[in-house]
Structure 1
């Protein structure tokens, strides 16, 4: 059915509105007559096709802005904010409407007047500013340390505005510090592994050489064998600790639902033959079955290392040595408390208790990896831990682990 004149004009108006909205694929109808209205419609369609080939659509531009992981702010030539990406709203805790048509100054607190003046003057003299350290004002009275880069937007040779990219310096510093810590741990690992593995091995080799080169009576031979066994046990302890540390990526953890208390009982039973286990009373307290989702392997490692540590440093004076383990639901996860009445630690030892290869007691036969493994595994499971201890009064370790059923 042929369209009447009013309908054809309305269709042309609709096509023009679509072009204004950034939709360049909507075309006005053109009839076989090719009269004056068809000529206008054809011209509008040609404009739409040309714009489609040469202009990025608004939706495409918005998708690009959303895809930028740093904060991005676009200003007009008077340094009034015209557009911000989602990262700006997220990190500064303000809605998009808070920024639009506001001056550059709104990004900084009121005490930054001189900084803003100097920034504008620098921008006037230079084509761009690169990696300048500053701090943005966040919701309330907070501040976010950032590095900012500012450059002009040009249309041919005319300046039409500015674009600012800001990087979250707080996140960068945290990442850098974490990387430095890991590098330090790796250096310590390389140094201590060579020392802690060579020592027991050299001791065993020396004792075997003595046995080979001398006539030894049976009691002396048994004594030498006991020394070799001590060195072998020490070597094995270090190797097992190193294997347990591992380099397990969180995304590769085997997540499963399991009963914490049943797991705890299994850990206690597995230590039946651990040296001095018979001297220590171990109890597991819980109000009801506690089931949650996490890596059972890493949880067992955490609990076993804590219990082993408490047994190793028990104190048998007046009172019976004990280890009390309690579990309960907390904050969408679980809280585990391991408390003992052992020898305890002074502040100097406590401050370094979770360091790799640290032994607070120089007479200890341990590898110095137990509490480091505990801390490492708790962090891999997204949890946190606190420790309290006093010399002669025992130690208490409190651990929180989130349920990883949504992971």
Structure 2
């Protein structure tokens, strides 16, 4: 090894970047040891392979164009065979390796920009989501507002004995409006607020949420059955747990089967050292099998009976992901639906989660 080669190796082996040297046919001849740290693979496993394997065709053409011009720099999802399935993003610079002005190969410098790229993707996703929410909510909020205003105008002109009927209709429109606003609050809080850790009484939380919801739907009589057990304390984010419970229970009430005489909702919860498991079973109208995989999508509505924004179950799934939890649904059309929710118990954490 001559002095120049030794200096090169010394520089690249102490770099946080990955350096790759390929010959004029673009066969890999050298890979710096940093590839093991970043991708979890041994440098020797890449020797003898061609750069073409890791670059999309259109990107490869871009690379060769840059090399013909003498040097080039481009950002590229440079795929290397790592130990996991996660894509690793690199900012790649490529320059000719010359010997007496003759082209001998290419030196690639790969700077890991995965964290930056993921933040950019998340920002794009959030902005796109926000645009959708603003457009959809603005559109949907007009209906209950215009309905209430129209009913007020009619109520002003009818005899006193008929006013109560219109006041009841106005109340329903305003409750729709309140539901929309609450969904927007849930969406905003889940997106913006840090996840908290606090002691929660699951029995108290469930009872409070049911009391709040049953007053919003007084005409829909339903029997409620409780089965709650707490073997230990439970710690999580109370506001987010409340959001999950409210949205699921609200759906159970909205989509009751009014043709059935014995309507019911069964609410069960069990707290252990590891998890809080909850289930919400109803004998409502159920969900069409064609739609069961889509019910957690943004703005999806599985039935024309829906009067919400289509955000409720999307918020449930997104909230649970932030809590490290999960939700599963079992439903038979015409028979009813059961939501199973699992949320980790943060009782042993000494600091907040998030």
What band does the TM-score fall into relative to the shorter chain? 0.7 to 0.9
Alignment correspondent of 2:152: 208
1:81 and 2:35 correspond: no
Q: Residues of 1 paired with 2:176 and 2:20: CA distance? A: 63
The 2-side partners of 1:269 and 1:366 are apart by: 20
Q: Is the alpha carbon distance of 1:154 and 1:403 closer, same or farther for their aligned partners in structure 2, counting shifts above 3 Å?
A: farther
Alignment correspondent of 1:394: 336
Deviations 1:337-361 (A, max 9, x none): 3222221110344344234444433
Q: Which of these residues, 296, 305, 312, is aligned with residue 254 of structure 2?
A: 312
Q: Cα deviation per residue 1:158-211 (whole Å; 9 max; x = unaligned)? A: 9998343165789958963x5555344323322222222222222222222234
Q: Which residue of 1 aligns with 2:223?
A: 280
Quote the residue 1:46 is aligned against: none
Give CA deviations for 1:90-122 in whole Å, capped at 9, x if unaligned. Answer: 55333xxx326973629897x99x99x999988
* 1:341 and 2:290 correspond: no
Correspondence for 1:325: 268
* Alpha-carbon separation, structure 1, partners of 2:187 and 2:46: 52
What is the rounded CA distance, in whole Å, between the counterparts of 1:147 and 1:194 in structure 2?
40
Corresponding position: 1:197 with 2:146:
no
Contact 1:200 1:232 in 2 (8 A): yes
Closer/same/farther in 2, CA of residues 144 and 303 from structure 1, 3 Å limit: closer
- Note if contact 1:250-1:381 (Cα within 8 Å) is conserved in structure 2: no
The aligned residue for residue 376 of structure 1 is 318
Tell me the residue number matched to 1:5. none
d(CA) in 2 for partners of 1:130 and 1:303? Answer: 48
Partner of 1:164: helix, strand, or coil?
strand
Among 294, 304, 324, the alignment partner of 1:362 is 304
Q: Deviations over 1:120-142 (max 9, x none)?
A: 988975434634555322349x7
Between the two proteins, the alignment pairs up a number of residues equal to 332
- SS state at 1:194 partner: helix
Equivalence map 1:3-402=2 (5 Å): 62=14, 65-66=15-16, 72-75=18-21, 80-81=29-30, 83-85=32-34, 88-90=35-37, 92-94=39-41, 98-99=42-43, 103=47, 105=49, 125=68, 126-128=70-72, 130-131=74-75, 135-139=79-83, 149-152=92-95, 162-165=107-110, 172=117, 176=121, 181-212=125-156, 214=157, 216-248=158-190, 252-276=194-218, 278-286=221-229, 288-315=230-257, 317=260, 319-329=262-272, 332-402=274-344
- Residue of structure 2 in register with 1:27 after alignment: none
SS in 2 for 1:325: strand
Greater per-residue helix proportion: 1
Greater RCO, CA 8 A, separation 6+: 2
Q: Does structure 1 conserve the Cα–Cα contact (< 8 Å) formed by 2:136 and 2:309?
A: no
TM-score for the superposition, normalised by structure 2: 0.72
SS, match of residue 204 in structure 1: helix
Maintained 8 Å contact 2:300/2:311: yes
Paired with 1:246 and 1:119, the residues of 2 have a C-alpha distance of 42
3-state SS of 1:73 partner? strand
Structure of higher CA gyration radius: 1
Q: Is the 8 A contact 2:28 2:51 kept in 1?
A: no
Q: Distance in 2 between matches of 1:338 and 1:313?
A: 13
Give the secondary structure class of the aligned counterpart of 2:143. helix
Q: Contact 2:198–2:236 (CA<8 Å) still a contact in 1?
A: yes
CA RMSD, aligned part only? 4.5
Equivalent in the alignment of 1:29: none
